[in-house]
Amino acid sequence: MNLLSLLEDRLQSALTGIAPEPTRYRGLVKPTKDAAFGDYQANCAMGLAKELGAKPRDIAEQIATRLREGDLFASVDVAGPGFINLKLRSEWIAESVRNLAGDERLGIPSVTQPLRFVIDYSSPNVAKPMHVGHLRSTIIGDALTRLLRFLGHSVVTDNHLGDWGTQFGMLIHGWRHHLDPAALEADPIREMTRLYVLVRQQIEAAGGTAGEGEEAAEDAANPVADACRAETAKLHAGDPENNALWTRMMPWCLEELNRVYRRLGILPFDHILGESAYNPLLPGVAEELAAKGIAEESQGALIITFGENQPIALIRKRDGAFTYMTTDLATIRKRVDEFQAQVLLYVVDFRQALHFQQLFTAARRWGYDQVRFEHVQFGSVLGKDGRPIKTREGGAVELAALLDEAVQRARQIVDANSPELSDVERAEVAEQVGIGAVKYADLSQNRASDYRFSWEKMLAMDGNTAAYMQYAVARVRSIFRKHDLTPDSLRQQPPLPSLATPAERLLAVQLLRFPEAVAAAAAEFLPHLITGYLWDLANAYSGFYQQCPVLKAETAELRQSRLLLCDLTARTIEQGLALLGIGTPERM
């Protein structure tokens, strides 16, 4: 049951006959900021009064009179110029919470009209280590996949790898001139990484740059860069030797990526189709765009225009090379025609906003105008100085090294707080806490914003962190474990919870709000709406735990009631974290 949707339905029903278009105002129900004023507030009277030419308070009184009918509200009060404060009946709350106990989904309904999503995320350039810049796309995309699937949507994930760019020219050049055969046999991934780093350093030493993507090694008058470009050109031209090397390198490169994905707990991708998979299709795409008048010749290149004074999009360069735009259009054809996508999500950073605006416009002109396109953009990960996070040497921080440090720091916390655990148990908990800290710190931010990376904040045992949430679950589990209690009976034959104190009632209402938080996060593709909810729930539980004795409750019935609230809190936090791809250890 989505409590907010229920209240919106009640408001819409109350507005029928008063408002010309009741559906326009149903969304104006929000939780109150202060429980003293009720549980929710309807703020529709002011806007409606203006539309009707009436006094806001008079309109609010009419609506309130209708809302008072039925058994949902304990009180419906009009405040100020026309705010309608809604307080739910405690008996209704208690019965609804009891129903949650036997529901594996904790009140979250499956969607009635599931959609077919294709999500493009992570998409690193292979043949070199993943760095911190890949973190956000990877974990945001994974969280959205989990969330949408949980709600009942069909989700296809596609990791569109950069597996056809200049980095392979760099690797092939390194292979020819600097390969250590013994090192390759002992650890091919480490040797591939060494070759890539060595060639990059040689390019930089010669006065060039070795940046990301296809711009790497593009500097003029740089012999190493020239050699890498030549090897890339041979690869793209179908040179048998270079293609054989590429075929041999790819499994090693993919295993390095998968090692990081496994550690992050990323769900397996349904498809891993890199740029190379689309290369044979690009001439046909360009020809069709030209034939339909979507693209036109300009100074030897093929371009798409988007209006006067608007940037153009290159489809085919003057030298005959194709671009990311061409490849991305080819992926849209495959994702819609073969994967049957109804919604296409691209989890890519904000710097690509213009590219996706042009891509979506071009795709609609091409005939894909019945598909919903979304650029799920996100900001940058910044260091303490407010600049993109870098190593001391100025390079991008490797993601594997970042995760290693997170686990090492978490191990210090676990060792200090849980000496009773075995070494193996502490290592397992540290892995969950460290990886969870990195993911939660990112997902708890509005994805559209930059955020500053801080070990101290993300591993804090208080505040809105994964560690705090994980500890809340472990604390509940310890109550049951230490007293040889099992939550099974509470779930199979749940008692009607007592909500006699404000802390109990507040916690119960927060438990009922989980479905609306999940629905809002899915609707806007904003995982931080779930972390915000979990923070509110954890705070409500903290107040309850401090004010309401559980095992020392005055009566056996009250003890069972409070144990039920404890168990539901742990289950809800655990489920919320699971939707974000974060585990919860039994002990901390």
pLDDT tens profile 406-447: 999 999 999 998 899 999 999 999 999 999 999 999 999 999
Share of the chain above pLDDT 70, in %: 97
pLDDT at 128: 78
Judge contact between 210 and 200, C-beta under 8 A. Answer: yes
Rounded average pLDDT over 257-282: 95
Q: How confident is the model at residue 212 (pLDDT cuts 50, 70, 90)?
A: very low
User: Residue 219: what are its φ and ψ, rounded to 5°?
Assistant: -80, 140
Share of the chain above pLDDT 90, in %: 81
Q: Does residue 213 have a pLDDT over 50?
A: no
pLDDT at 54: 93
Judge contact between 9 and 26, C-beta under 8 A. Answer: yes
pLDDT at 172: 96
pLDDT at 254: 92
pLDDT at 562: 97
| Number of Cα atoms under 13 Å in the Cβ half of residue 496 | 7
Helix %, strand %, coil % of the chain (to 5) = 55, 10, 35
Which CB contacts under 8 angstroms, 24+ apart, belong to 418-424? 418/587, 418/588, 421/587
Judge contact between 273 and 331, C-beta under 8 A. Answer: yes
pLDDT at 208: 60
pLDDT at 13: 96
Rounded average pLDDT over 150-165: 95
Rounded average pLDDT over 343-365: 97
CB neighbour list of residue 499: distance below 8 Å, 6 or more residues apart: 90, 93, 94, 505, 508
Judge contact between 540 and 533, C-beta under 8 A. Answer: no
Angle between helices 188-205 and 240-264 (to 10 degrees): 110
| Number of Cα atoms under 13 Å in the Cβ half of residue 45 | 22
Q: Please provide the distance, in angstroms rounded to a whole number, between the alpha carbons at the two ends of the chain.
A: 32
Per-residue pLDDT of 57-115, as tens digits, reads 999 999 999 999 988 999 999 999 999 999 999 999 999 999 999 999 999 999 999 99
Rounded average pLDDT over 192-221: 69
CA pair distance 227, 242, nearest whole angstrom: 13
Angle between helices 56-67 and 3-15 (to 10 degrees): 120
CA pair distance 581, 576, nearest whole angstrom: 9
The answer to pTM > 0.85 is yes
pLDDT at 129: 80
The pairing of strands 116-120 and 343-346 is: parallel
pLDDT at 417: 86
